[in-house]
Structure 1
Amino acid sequence: MKKIGFLSFGHWSPSSQSMVRSAQDALLQSIDLAVAAEEAGADGAYFRVHHFARQLASPFPLLSAAAAKTSRIELGTGVIDMRYENPLYMAEDAGAADLISGGRLQLGISRGSPEQVIDGYRYFGYVPQDGSTDAEMARNHTQLFLDVLKGEGFAQPNPRPMFANPPGLLRLEPYAPGLRDRIWWGAGSRATAEWTAEQGMNLMSSTLLTEDTGVPFHRLQAEQIQRYRDAWTKAGHEREPRVSVSRSIFPIVSDLDRQLFWRERHSTDQVGHLDGGDARFGKTYAGEPDKLIAELAEDEAIAAADTLLLTVPNQLGVDYNAHVVESVLTHLAPELGWR
C-alpha cells in the first residue's frame, strides 16, 4: 500500500493559454485541488515553494486554508528553501497550521533549488557567516527549526510579564505535538540522503538527482533510498521513517489526455548540468494504462517508497488536474498493488 498525493508548483501566467492567470488564481485553485484530490481518494496535497517567481511562495497561509477546507488529506510542501527562513518564526507558523489541520502537516524542507535571482536569501536578511556556504546556512537554520519543534523550554521568562508564565524556561507557542516527526528533507544525492537519516527526518526525493552514475534514474534513486534506510537503522531512531518520490504520470484515457501528452509517450531520462555538476532527470510516464502499468512495475524507486507524489501541470486547471490524480488512482494504482 502506498500513499498517493499530488505536488503542484503553483505556476501562474497572464497568458490566455493558462487557466491560472494570477497569484490569486494559483492560491485559490490550489485549495480547490486539495479538496478535489481528497474527494477522489488521494492521500496528500503538496506544494512547491519558490521565491521571486510567478509560483507559490509563502506556504503557511495556503496550508492553513486548505486544512480548513479538508478533513483527511495530508498537507505538505516540497520543498521550503531553508536559506530564506527565520527558524523560530517558521516554527510558530508551522505549529499553527498543523493545529488547524489536526496534525496533518508533512513539511518538506531543503537547501532549495536554483533561484530566480542571485543569492535571493540575502534580500530576506540572511547571509552565510564568513567561511561558510549557503548550504551550511540552510542546515544551521534547519537544526534550530528541528530543535524548537521538540517543544522544550529554552527562553528565560520575564520576571514581570504581562501575563502569567508557566514555571521554567519558555518554549515557542503554539506547540504542535508530533510535528517534529513529520519533517522531510528534499535530498538531491545519496550523501544528503544519508545525512537526512542521521538528522531523523523523512526522505523526500524528486524527479532530479544532482549526480549521475550512468544507471537509469529509478535505479540511482532506489540506491539513494536504500542508503537512507541503512543510515536510519545505523542511527538507531525508534520510529519508522517515511520516503516519498515524485513522478510525472499521465494515463491517456481521454481525447484530451491524448492531445496533451501523446508526445511524452517515449520520454526517457535526461542527463545535464545543474549548479556546476552532473544531474540526472527522471522521465515522464505517459501512455495508455496497460503500457504504464508495465513500465511503472519496473520502477525500483517507486517500489521502495511508501509515498508517491504526482507532479501536476497546474496551469491546466483544477478539473483537469483532479482528473489526472483520479486516473492514476483508478486505472493504475489497483493493478500495481499500490491501493
Structure 2
Amino acid sequence: MKKIGFLSFGHWSNHPSYQARTAGYTLLQSIDLAVAAEEIGLDGAYFRVHHFAQQLASPFPLLAAIGAKTSKIEIGTGVIDMRYENPLYMLEDASAADLISEGRLQLGISRGSPEQVIDGWSYFGYEPQKDETDADMGRQKALQFLEGLKGEGFAEPNPYPMFPNPPGLLRIEPHSEGLRERIWWGAASNATAVWAAENGMHLQSSTLKYDENGKPFHVQQAEQIRIYKEAWKKAGHQREARVSVSRSIFALMNDQDRYYFGAQGKGSDSFGYIERDKRAVFGKSYAAEPDKLIKELEEDEAIKEADTLLLTIPNTLGVDYNVHILSSILEHIAPALGWR
C-alpha cells in the first residue's frame, strides 16, 4: 500500500496551448486541482517552489487556501529552498497553514537547487557566513526552523508589553503541535539523506540525484532510501520514517494521451551536470498502455522502497485533463501493483 499524491511545478505562460497563462489562474487552478484530487481519492497535493520564475513561489497562502477547502488530503511542498527563508517568519506561516488544515501539512524543505538567477538568495537579503557555503546556510536555517517547531520559548519578554505576557521566555506564535514530525528533506545525495535521518526528517527523493556509482537511476535511488532507513533506525527515533519518490507516469488511455506523452515512454535515464561540476543522474519518464506500464513499474526498485509516490503533472494542461491523468493511475495502475 502506498500514499499517492501529485506534484505540481505550477508553470504559467501566455502561450496559446496553455490553460495556465497567468499567475492568478495558476494559483486558483492549483486549489481546484487539490479539491478534485481529494474527491477522486488521491492522498496528497504537493507543490514545487521556485523563485524568479513563472512558477509557484510563495507556498503558504496556497497551502492555507487548499487546507480551508479540503478535509482529508495531505498538502505539502517539494521543496522549499531554505536559502531564501527567514526561519522564524516561516515558523509563523507554516504553523498557521497547518492549523488551518487541522494538521495535514507535510512540509518538504531543502538546502536548495540551481535557480534562475545567480545567488538569488542574496536579493532576499541573505549571505553565507565567513567560511560557509550557500548550502551550509540553507542547512543551518533548516536546523533553526526545526528548533523553533519544538515550541519552546527563547525570546526575552518586554517588561512593558502592549499585552500581558505569559511567564518565561516567549516562543513564536502560532504554534502547531505535531508539525515538527511532518517535515521532509529533499536529498540529492546519500550523505544528505543520512543527515536528514539524523535530524528526524522524512525523505523526499525526486527524479534526479547525484550520480554516486554510475548505476541506473532507480537503483541508486533505492540504495539512497535504504541508507536513509538504516540511519533513521540508528538514530533511535520513536516514530516511523516516511519516504517519497517523484515520478512522471502517464497511462496512455486514448489518442490525446498518446499525442501528449507517447514519445516520453521511449526515453531512458540520462546523465548530466548540475551546479557546474556535480554529475547527476536523471530518471526516465514512464508512458505506455496500462499493461506495459505495469510491467515497467514493477521493475522500479525505488518505488518499491518508498511509502509515498508523487506523480509529477503537467499543470498547464488544465484541471480536467490532470484529473484524467491521476484517475487513470488510480484505476488502472495502482491496484495491479498493490499500491491500493
Look up the match of 2:6. Answer: 6
Look up the match of 2:246. Answer: 246
**In structure 2, the residue corresponding to 1:311 is in which secondary structure?**
strand
Look up the match of 2:169. Answer: 169
The within-5 A match list for 1:255-270 is 255-270=255-270
Distance 1:263 1:132 in 2: 44
Look up the match of 1:20. Answer: 20
The within-5 A match list for 1:225-244 is 225-244=225-244
Q: Any stretches of 5+ residues in structure 1 without a counterpart?
A: none
Q: Aligned-pair distance for 1:265? A: 2.1
Whether 1:326 and 2:327 are equivalent positions in the alignment is yes
Deviations 1:209-228 (A, max 9, x none): 02242211111000000000
**In structure 2, the residue corresponding to 1:154 is in which secondary structure?**
coil
Look up the match of 2:79. Answer: 79
Deviations 1:237-289 (A, max 9, x none): 11111100000000001221111111112221011111112100000000000
**In structure 2, the residue corresponding to 1:76 is in which secondary structure?**
strand
User: CA RMSD of the aligned region, Å?
Assistant: 0.7
Deviations 1:60-108 (A, max 9, x none): 0000011111110000000000000000000000000000000000000
Q: Aligned-pair distance for 1:168? A: 1.2
Which deviates the most, 321-330 or 86-95? 321-330
Whether 1:305 and 2:306 are equivalent positions in the alignment is yes
Taking structure 1 as the reference length, the TM-score comes to 0.99
Q: Quick check: 1:251–1:324 contact (8 Å CA) kept in 2?
A: yes
* Count of residue correspondences: 339
Distance 1:152 1:100 in 2: 21
**In structure 2, the residue corresponding to 1:6 is in which secondary structure?**
strand
User: Which letter does structure 2 place at the counterpart of 1:277?
Assistant: K
Distance 2:123 2:265 in 1: 42
User: Which letter does structure 2 place at the counterpart of 1:314?
Assistant: N
**In structure 2, the residue corresponding to 1:336 is in which secondary structure?**
coil
Name segments (4+ residues, structure 1) moved above 2 Å. none
**In structure 2, the residue corresponding to 1:46 is in which secondary structure?**
strand
Distance 2:65 2:265 in 1: 36
Which deviates the most, 313-322 or 4-13? 313-322
Q: Quick check: 1:212–1:271 contact (8 Å CA) kept in 2?
A: no
Look up the match of 2:206. Answer: 206
Distance 1:13 1:113 in 2: 22
Whether 1:50 and 2:50 are equivalent positions in the alignment is yes
User: Which letter does structure 2 place at the counterpart of 1:207?
Assistant: T
Q: Any stretches of 5+ residues in structure 2 without a counterpart?
A: none
Distance 1:267 1:325 in 2: 21
**In structure 2, the residue corresponding to 1:334 is in which secondary structure?**
coil
Distance 1:324 1:268 in 2: 21
**In structure 2, the residue corresponding to 1:278 is in which secondary structure?**
strand
Look up the match of 1:337. Answer: 338
**In structure 2, the residue corresponding to 1:295 is in which secondary structure?**
helix
